[in-house]
Structure 1
Amino acid sequence: MIYFSEQELDNFLLEDIYRGDLTTHCLDIGKKSARMSFTRKKAGVVAGINVALRLLTKLHIQANAFVQDGDEVTAGTLLIQAEAQADQLHQAWKVVQLVLEWSCGVAQYTAEMVQNAKAINPNAVVACTRKSIPNTRKLATAAVLAGGGHIHRQGLSETLLVFTNHRNLLDEPENYIDIVATLRQQAPENKITLEADNLAQCQAMLLANPDIIQLDKFSSDDVKAALELKQQLKSNVMLSVAGGVNKNNVADFAKLGIDLFITSAPYYAMPEDIKVMIEKR
């Protein structure tokens, strides 16, 4: 479970309900006892349940969840039911709905991408980057995990990944052997990834023996050629693909023999439709 602080949850709520629901107040229905239900309209993977429950609890709403993050449900499945006064429910309604819709969308896309890759290569790993929509990274992380994906890196401090923009500042930007040796000495507990922009770079990087070479925006033909170079050199370096990898083309790369797929596509998936019903209790 990904932990969300009280401040983070407050920020979700205060963006929408900073002065309450004016409509509920003007209709004088705020004190009516009511029940609110959240259902997933289409079949698929569920995400955002844990955060939704904590948001409801913060508004002193009694809520019960009937599914867990990562569950695969049928169309029309009841996800959460909550009971409280109408003013409390109306304040929670849209915030919770949006968390569920966006989280389920990310999880669903991730699950479909994982399925497409594993149908070809059972060892395939779909890992999402740090290129998430600003201020959504924690929600995105929870949703990706619920969908069966992995996290490539959450931030700059976690992993060693050498981009061209790093190398451009070095005295010898193409001395990959020295780059790898320096990183192994400076951070012996971390794996080393070098990103290759083209096939010639990949070939030179293979000789430096990093742990992973990330092939950025490589065509299928270039990925195939890179795998052939690796085989010729009898290298143990893992090759991953990144840049433009999505659920529609991941199988094409999997057929070539790639195991690791780096993507940000799930973050921009269409939200799933969550139906919300508030009724008298």
Structure 2
Amino acid sequence: MDAGLDPTGLQRLLLLAIEEDLGSGDITGIATIDPQWLGEAEIRAKQPLVAAGLEILAPFWDLIDPEVKIETPATDGQRLVVGDRLAIVRGRVRSLLAGERICLNLLCHLCGVATLTAAYVEQVGPHRARILDTRKTNPGMRRLEKAAVRAGGGHNHRFGLYDQILIKDNHVDACGGVTAAIRKARLEFPQAPLEIEVRNEEELREALAEQAPVILLDNMDLDRIRRCVEIAAGRAELEVSGGVTLDRIAALAATGIDRISVGALTHSVPAADLHMKLTPNRA
């Protein structure tokens, strides 16, 4: 699994965002700002948060204006309080204003992902469970969002359909059962990481008999999860998903589960509150 950012994909995303917002140019900036005016803008936190997405700043501002200079006092994963600086951007005022909204849109979202992830991780407490993301990401944003999950202390699940076999209930039904599905998958892709979803104890025992390394318990209540943990007895990593909310994490982790996957980390995360304050130098 390649957890790094893809420079080509990142540039494609940034160019799309720039085209969408700037179009043929910032007519307000052109109308009101002298092209030679220089300035400095600070991006600061307006709430406690976990920083993320700072690695996009240099490539983004280089596309807006190659002469813009970036300084990042914060680092991804750093916990910030109100007023802390994430970045300082220096250059032509027109350029700073042209890129302000796109920059904040991306940073607010990614810091929001990291901040929410950190809240989930904190709720695990002393237990061994790891918080994982899912494929429920925004189109084109997956690698950035998954990097933000890591910044918040979480872990990445598969990046796509290509890097891990995850046999869900529909696959099981189509194949005629857990055993058949696992055997067919291993025959086709023997080296691929494998996980299978089970719906009851009988399917769990089948998956254990086939030595499935990771078993997903989908939408089970706490009593059923505890029973499955007892049955597995450490022979496979057990993951829970479905209906996972922040207020349930402590109880889920206390069952002895190994992994908790949370779609909300990326698909419905609130944006962090940041602002970019410009100080122009019209001399």
Q: Same fold (TM over 0.5)?
A: yes
For residue 224 of structure 1, report the CA deviation from its aligned partner. Answer: 1.4
Q: Let me know the Cα RMSD of the aligned residues.
A: 1.8
Q: Contact (CA 8 Å) 1:45, 1:107: kept in 2 or not?
A: yes
Alignment-mate amino acid for residue 88 of structure 1:
S
Q: Deviations over 1:37-87 (max 9, x none)?
A: 100112221001111222112222111111111112222111111111121
SS of corresponding position for 2:87: strand
Alignment of 1:153-168 (within 5 A): 153-168=158-173
In 2, Cα distance between equivalents of 1:191 and 1:33: 53
Gaps of 5+ in 2: none
Alignment of 1:1-281 (within 5 A): 1-5=4-8, 6-59=11-64, 60=66, 61-117=68-124, 119-121=125-127, 123-170=128-175, 173-174=176-177, 176-231=178-233, 236-267=235-266, 268-281=268-281
Q: Deviations over 1:76-112 (max 9, x none)?
A: 1111111111211111100111111000000001111
In 2, Cα distance between equivalents of 1:255 and 1:23: 56
Gaps of 5+ in 1: none
TM-score by length of 1: 0.90
TM-score by length of 2: 0.90
For residue 30 of structure 1, report the CA deviation from its aligned partner. Answer: 4.1
Q: Deviations over 1:205-232 (max 9, x none)?
A: 333331111011111121112123324x
Give aligned pairs, total.
Answer: 273
SS of corresponding position for 1:239: strand
Q: Contact (CA 8 Å) 1:109, 1:247: kept in 2 or not?
A: no
Q: Percent identity?
A: 25
In 2, Cα distance between equivalents of 1:212 and 1:151: 14
Q: Deviations over 1:149-198 (max 9, x none)?
A: 1111110011011112212322xx12x33332333333332332110133
Alignment-mate amino acid for residue 271 of structure 1:
A
Q: Contact (CA 8 Å) 1:97, 1:274: kept in 2 or not?
A: yes
